Structure 1
Amino acid sequence: MGICSDILQQVTYPGVVKAMEENLIEFILFCSCIPGAEAYKNVDHIAAITGILQPSLNVVMSAHIDEQQIKTRIHEIMQPFKERAIPMLWYLFPDARPTSLPMYLDQHGLINNGAEPGMALDLSLLPSTLTDIPVPEHFNIEEVASSNALQEWIHVSSIAFGGEPVAFDSEYGRFEQCLGWGQDRPYRRFLGRLNGKAIATSSLFLGAGVAGLFSVGTLPEAQRQGIGTAISIAPLLLAREAGYNIGVLQASEAGYKVYTKIGFRECCRIQTYLWAPA
């Protein structure tokens, strides 16, 4: 993928926080290319409904709502999600307005889903190559480039994030298949193998002038061996080769220490509110 004209040059606040939010927005809008999805930019918010039963793929973001009309607007914004009975997340980055928005979301039945650190990294701080990172023998990383590899990626990711093996979700599989793969696309997935077995995942989204790192997961039996570090760094090295300077992510509690060791630094807290049909 070619270098976009608005590459962010330095990790400086608040520019990197805005780019982090815009990267997530572009990623969600990219995911909304599937049949049946809805996405729109309104004057006071951005919303996307993919229809996949995963809250993080049905979202409201970038809310800047007039407090005089806020109760009416929240009701209107939530209506499409309720009509389709789709679980969703309402993202609150630091510049969400009004500052009392969490109170109003609570009043409308959305549940505080907690806050995760938004983190950023100067990609020049990464090692030159993956060979500088200690990992088990016979571990390698490949980019997903086939339907079979994609099914392995989905399977490993579901265990890493869900905690137990699950049946293959054909609907979610069709969704990921629709997003496609290839080095010319902004969204790219990576699969780590140990002795040939798929055991780790990550993905990269290039947008808004930064490299967004997503879906970093490792199977329980393969943790604490440097694999999480390697599968995180591999996509970022490719982004650096493509001319990007800054990596961004939202860190889970489990991943925070790993990302800090890599060089990521917290620059904001991203709060989410959850709504799900009864």
Structure 2
Amino acid sequence: MANLRAHWLAWGGSDSIQDDLVVYRSGLQHGLLNGVLRLSGRSVPEAAADAEQQLANLPWRWWVGPDSDAGVAEALRERGYSRNGSMPIMAVRLDQLSAPPSPAGLIIERVDGPDSVTDYVDAYASSFGVGHTLRALVVDAESSLRTDLGRLIRLVGRIDGRAVATSAVLISNGVAGVYWVGTHPTYRGRGVGAALTAAAMVIGRQHGALVCTLQASALGAPVYQRLGFTQVSEVVLYSPPSGL
């Protein structure tokens, strides 16, 4: 969870990841790119009022994971928040890594330079609901992420020269966290996402991490299970009441 906090705080957050209320704010109109990551040692009504002020006029989510105080979810529901979904937290030991075969024609490259950042965002846009009007702003944000919270390495997969899939690995807090695994719908079902995930895992191992973690979507969970991941916990997302 500390790795997850470091990842999202790179999009815009407080200087510390140890605060009792951990808020990240990209300022972009996308619910995944703004939110609350943890509440610890503070009353929910007070913290919620603070978060609602910081994130006013933005779409956002409140993440409730195993590092938040007990009772946060119930208190949020009492305040009018609605459950937006949940994601299993999955992990695997990297000394047990078994890479799947790479799909024919797939070339995996590291994202390096403005052109590859644009391709990277274009490749994951359909998987993460980044619409056309947001893409340029997300490219700018990706190009200026904080670098003091860990080592982030982003990958793009190409077939016939087209950027069709992505993954990213953050080396932070002693583990390798995998994020932004996405494949263009036209290229799904070929093992491309598994190959991008495995490539990120290899990089994590090369940087000394012994454990790899991620938060899985319903679409991705079976892929990660085949790569050896098992569920160790869960994070639940809540949406604030309408009008906030």
TM-score, shorter chain, exceeding 0.5: yes
User: Could you tell me which of 58, 77, 84 is aligned with 2:34?
Assistant: 58
CA distance in 2, matches of 1:102, 1:96: 9
Q: What one-letter code is carried by the residue in structure 1 that aligns with 2:47? A: R
Q: How does 1:216-255 map to 2 (within 5 A)?
A: 216-255=181-220
User: Could you tell me which of 177, 187, 199 is aligned with 2:143?
Assistant: 177
Q: 2:166·2:196 contact (CA, 8 Å) conserved in 1?
A: yes
Q: Unpaired runs of 5+ in structure 2?
A: none
SS at match of 1:179: coil
Q: 1:39·1:49 contact (CA, 8 Å) conserved in 2?
A: no
Deviations, residues 3-35 of structure 1 (Å, cap 9, x unaligned): xxxxxxxxxxxxxxxxxx100111122222xxx
Specify the alignment match of 1:26 in structure 2.
6
Q: How many residues align?
A: 241
User: Does 2:115 correspond to 1:135?
Assistant: no
Q: What one-letter code is carried by the residue in structure 2 that aligns with 1:89? A: R
Q: 2:21·2:38 contact (CA, 8 Å) conserved in 1?
A: yes
Tell me by how many angstroms 1:165 deviates.
7.1
Q: 2:88·2:216 contact (CA, 8 Å) conserved in 1?
A: yes
Report the more deviating stretch, 21-30 or 46-55. Answer: 46-55
Deviations, residues 110-132 of structure 1 (Å, cap 9, x unaligned): 221121100001011113xx6xx
Deviations, residues 33-57 of structure 1 (Å, cap 9, x unaligned): xxxx656567532222221222222
Q: Unpaired runs of 5+ in structure 1?
A: 1-20
Specify the alignment match of 1:46 in structure 2.
22
SS at match of 1:97: coil
Deviations, residues 186-223 of structure 1 (Å, cap 9, x unaligned): 11210101121111111111111100100101112211
Specify the alignment match of 1:144 in structure 2.
111
User: Does 2:100 correspond to 1:105?
Assistant: no
TM-score w.r.t. the length of structure 2 is 0.89
Q: Could you say which structure has the larger radius of gyration?
A: 1
SS at match of 1:169: helix
Structure 1 residue runs of 4 or more that deviate by more than 4 Å after TM superposition: 37-43
CA distance in 2, matches of 1:247, 1:70: 31
User: Does 2:153 correspond to 1:188?
Assistant: yes
Q: What one-letter code is carried by the residue in structure 2 that aligns with 1:64? A: S
SS at match of 1:248: strand
Q: Give the share of equivalent positions with the same residue, in percent.
A: 26
Report the more deviating stretch, 206-215 or 55-64. Answer: 55-64
Q: 1:188·1:205 contact (CA, 8 Å) conserved in 2?
A: yes
Change in 2 beyond 3 A, CA 1:59/1:39: farther
Q: What one-letter code is carried by the residue in structure 2 that aligns with 1:136? A: P
TM-score w.r.t. the length of structure 1 is 0.79
Deviations, residues 71-122 of structure 1 (Å, cap 9, x unaligned): 233223322212xx122221111242232x2222123332211211000010
CA distance in 2, matches of 1:70, 1:235: 36
